[in-house]
């Protein structure tokens, strides 16, 4: 193994620390290609995470062909649903989870992200029908959606091509936590943060009626119940909404 050049490392770190970093405060996040090691954006974004429930059991199945087909079928069309948006800024796969992050400068943009979750939820119903016909394991999912003004930076090692976009704030971290709540303990698949619910009340009140309120101590990371109540943290809203035409087509046998 090659030795680490710690003297060179010191110089590189000092270059980063002495850099006149520009923080661009703008509700709209441009293409992440505009991120450099000399700037960062502080923008309003919305994150969606779609997580397979009990994936440990699925991945432990000795029939690796079955596992591969299930995971590929899940990721393929969830990506297709989430990627079709000019506001998309990042999309990818983390283990058993498909995620997407969007720039959402206007409340209507946030509400459109929620609409995508209805398609994902309906798609998984279709997928389970197709899996059952092939005697393959069916799945349950949790879909977490959160919005916030977030710090977005390009991080990694300059000049190596090894870098990634880092999202620092509540949108991504809360979406991850919320996705872990879905399809558990009587909570339905789609989970949105209280801030997203507030936007839906204002801009899509009819759709807001499809959500029920709940809370979870793990979501807010506060153990003491009095703190939980006092700070009003941990609120979220859940639903099992599907797209009616899509759902009717599934129920009628998915004929061409």
pLDDT of residue 220: 54
pTM, full prediction: 0.90
Q: In the chain, how long is the greatest CA-to-CA distance?
A: 68
Cβ atoms of 188 and 214 closer than 8 Å: no
Residue 228 scores a pLDDT above 60: no
Q: pLDDT of 26-57, one tens digit each?
A: 999 998 888 988 999 999 999 999 999 888 78
Q: How far is CA 69 from CA 50, 65, 126, in A?
A: 18, 6, 15
The pLDDT of residue 233 is above 60: no
Give the confidence band of 139 by pLDDT, cuts at 50, 70, 90. Answer: very high
Q: Helix axis angle, 194-203 relative to 107-133, nearest 10°?
A: 110
Structure tokens of 56? 């440990």
**Residues above pLDDT 70, as percent of the chain:** 92
Concatenate the DSSP letters of all residues of 118-185 into one string.
HHHHHHHHHHHHHHHHTT-----EEEEEEEEEEEEEEEEETTTTEEEEEEESHHHHHHHHHHTTTTBT
Asked if the model's pLDDT at residue 230 lies above 80, the reply is: no
- Give 71-113 pLDDT, tens digit per residue: 999 999 999 999 989 999 999 998 889 999 999 999 999 999 9
CATH classification of 21-250, choosing from 1.10.287.40, 3.40.190.10, 3.10.290.10, 3.30.70.1230? 3.30.70.1230
């Amino acid at each position: 193994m090659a030795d680490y050049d710690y003297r060179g490392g010191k110089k590189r770190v000092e270059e980063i620390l002495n850099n006149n970093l520009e923080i661009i405060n703008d509700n709209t996040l441009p293409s992440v290609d505009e991120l450099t090691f000399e700037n960062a954006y502080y923008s309003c974004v919305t994150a969606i995470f779609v997580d397979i429930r009990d994936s440990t059991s699925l991945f432990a199945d000795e029939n690796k062909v079955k596992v591969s087909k299930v995971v590929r079928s899940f990721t393929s069309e969830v990506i297709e649903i989430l990627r079709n948006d000019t506001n998309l800024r990042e999309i990818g796969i983390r283990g058993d989870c498909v995620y997407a992050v969007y720039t959402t400068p206007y409340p209507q943009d946030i509400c459109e992200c929620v609409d995508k979750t209805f398609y994902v939820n309906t798609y998984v119903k279709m997928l389970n029908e197709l899996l059952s016909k092939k005697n393959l394991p069916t799945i349950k999912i949790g879909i977490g959606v959160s919005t916030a003004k977030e710090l977005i930076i390009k991080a990694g090692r300059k000049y190596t091509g090894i870098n990634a976009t880092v999202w620092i704030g509540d949108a991504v971290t809360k979406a991850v936590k919320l996705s872990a709540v879905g399809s558990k303990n009587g909570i339905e698949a789609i989970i949105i943060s209280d801030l997203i619910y507030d936007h839906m009340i204002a801009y899509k009140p009819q759709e807001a009626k499809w959500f029920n309120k709940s809370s979870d101590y793990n979501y807010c990371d506060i153990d003491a119940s009095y703190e939980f109540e006092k700070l009003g943290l941990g609120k979220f809203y859940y639903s099992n909404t599907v797209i009616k035409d899509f759902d009717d087509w599934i129920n009628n046998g998915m004929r061409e």
